[in-house]
Chain A
Amino acid sequence: MPHQPFEDWILGDEGLQEDQRLALAGHLSECAECTRLSKSLAAVERTLTQAEVAAPAPGFGARFALRLEGRRVRAARQQAWLAFGLAGAGACVAAVPAVLRLMEEWTSPASMFVQLWIRAYDAWVGLRVAGDFARVAWNSVPDVVGPAGALAFLAACLGLGVIWIATLYRFAFRRVTEGA
């Protein structure tokens, strides 16, 4: 006995036309296999609809808020490590030419330490000179440009600082505060 299209009608999700319904009823009265399938599917559907909608344990929303906060902290840490790593990598790249130049002067481990010592001393002296220069310049700015000019210079320095902080916020931290 052919079971099609009756099997498709039994298993299908669309309603049947009246003539299809009658044809199926006629077929089911004669076909034990399709009757078993039909009854079995009815039992399956009853089982599925009897199973209630499962609910989470109380406090789901609070647990979600905690998880969200945890993810934010984790994202902030990851971003901080990324920024730190990128800065370190950039510093290493920038140091490569200096190291190469220094290596040309190193003929032995002892000379390496001597050269490093000399470079460090040069750097320290250079910083001191730069500091002295800045101090003298700072003290002489009002004499050269007047109090208004000094204030403008200070305001420009502060403005640059604000721009720097805003840039850091925009590119390094904003995504984190917006929620990860």
Chain B
Amino acid sequence: MTGSRAAVIDRGESRWLERARQGEQAAFAELVEAYQRPVYNLCYRMLGDPAEAEDAAQESFLKAYRGMRRYDPQRSFSTWLLSIASHHCIDQLRRRRLPVDSLEELEPWEEVADLGPGPEKSATLREAREAARALLGRLGPQDRAVVVLRYWDELSTEEIAEALSLTVKAVKSRLHRARKQMAEAWLRSNPEPGWNGGQADAASAV
């Protein structure tokens, strides 16, 4: 998770940014290489489909390329880029408008290229991926974007507000609501007492 953001910030990107702002495509290609993973991950978590995520990520980079001259270098490039991707995905979800009524009704998570771990770890990752997808599927587009930016991109409340053009108060409210929805959904799908085998004690959530 932490690889999404920290890895791409300290790469001497200011030089690429400056050149990309002057219209140099090669410099923008470097930015694409550096940021493809967080942007793709955001789109993947938002849309829940690898093909749609690829398309959304590509479109987000295209929008960024067109808008490079409008980019304010005083702002964080990653926040600006994730903002573009978030808005694109929110628009896609609003167009799609597929309601999800229960965790069980979700389609199986499509496989993405598994790049390494052995069978056991792969199975664990796949389970986590499907569970995460099911949880996110409960949320509305903007709430989903808030959760993805918070948990995967580790943006602060202020950065999420900037990325989604919301107030800080609205972000807190959406995060609160999303957590409640996800926790309640989890409770509904795991109703029996002691379902988590004591893995998560109360203190860890506080």
Q: Which residues on A are within 8 Å of B, measured CB to CB?
A: 7-13, 16, 21, 24-25, 28, 35-58, 60-61, 63-65, 67-68, 71, 178-180
> In the complex, what residues of A have CB within 8 A of residue B184's CB?
37, 40
Q: Does B74 belong to the interface (CB within 8 Å)?
A: no
B166-206 interface (Cβ within 8 A of A): 172, 175-176, 179-180, 182-184, 186-187, 190, 196, 199-206
A51 to chain B, nearest CB (A): 4
**How far does the Cβ of B4 sit from chain A's closest Cβ, in whole Å?**
5
Among the listed B57, B135, B190, which residue makes an inter-chain contact with A56, where contact means beta carbons less than 8 Å apart?
B57
Question: With A43-B196, A56-B37, A64-B32 in contact, do A48 and B3 touch (Cβ < 8 Å)?
Answer: no
CB B117 to nearest CB in A, in angstroms, measures 9
Q: How large is the interface on B (under 10, 10 to 19, 20 to 34, 35 or more residues)?
A: 35 or more
Query: Are B132's CB and A37's CB within 8 A?
Result: no
- When the two chains form the complex, which single residue of B37, B62, B200 contacts A53, counting CB atoms closer than 8 Å? B37
Q: Is B129 in contact with chain A by the CB < 8 A criterion? A: yes
Chain A residues, CB < 8 A from B113: 55, 57-58
B interface residues with partner A (beta carbon < 8 Å): 1, 3-4, 23, 25, 29, 32-33, 36-38, 40-41, 44-45, 50, 53-54, 57-58, 61-62, 65-66, 112-113, 115, 124-125, 128-129, 131-133, 135, 147, 150-152, 157, 172, 175-176, 179-180, 182-184, 186-187, 190, 196, 199-206
Give min CB distance, B129 to chain A, whole Å: 5
Whole-angstrom CA separation of A12 from B176 in the bound complex: 6
- Which A residues touch B157, using CB under 8 A? 13
Report, nearest first, the 10 A-B pairs whose CB atoms are least far apart: A42-B200, A51-B132, A42-B205, A50-B128, A40-B183, A54-B44, A56-B40, A38-B205, A41-B183, A48-B151
Q: Given contacts A51-B129, A53-B152, are A8 and B202 in contact (CB under 8 A)?
A: no
Known: A12-B176, A60-B40, A179-B23. A38 touches B1 (CB 8 A): no
Q: How far, in angstroms, from A55 to B40 measured CA to CA in the complex?
A: 6
Partner pick for B151 among A8, A21, A45, CB 8 A cutoff: A45
Nearest Cβ on chain B to A172's Cβ, whole angstroms: 19
> Can you spell out 22 A-B residue pairs with CB atoms less than 8 angstroms apart?
A10-B205, A10-B206, A11-B179, A12-B172, A25-B203, A35-B202, A36-B187, A44-B179, A46-B199, A47-B132, A48-B151, A51-B128, A52-B128, A52-B129, A54-B129, A55-B113, A56-B40, A60-B32, A61-B29, A64-B29, A67-B62, A71-B62
Given A68-B65, A179-B25, answer yes or no on A13-B176 (Cβ-Cβ < 8 Å).
yes
A103 to B186, CA, bound (A): 79
Is there contact, CB below 8 Å, between B200 and A43? Answer: yes
Is the CB–CB distance between B135 and A13 below 8 Å?
Answer: no
User: What is the bound-complex CA distance between A9 and B205, given in angstroms?
Assistant: 10
> How far is it, in angstroms, between the C-alpha of A41 and the C-alpha of B175 when the chains are bound?
12
Q: Are B179 and A41 in contact, with the CB atoms below 8 A?
A: yes
Q: Could you say which residues of chain A place their CB within 8 Å of the CB of B29? A: 61, 64-65
Contact partner of A49 among B1, B129, B133, B206, CB < 8 A? B1
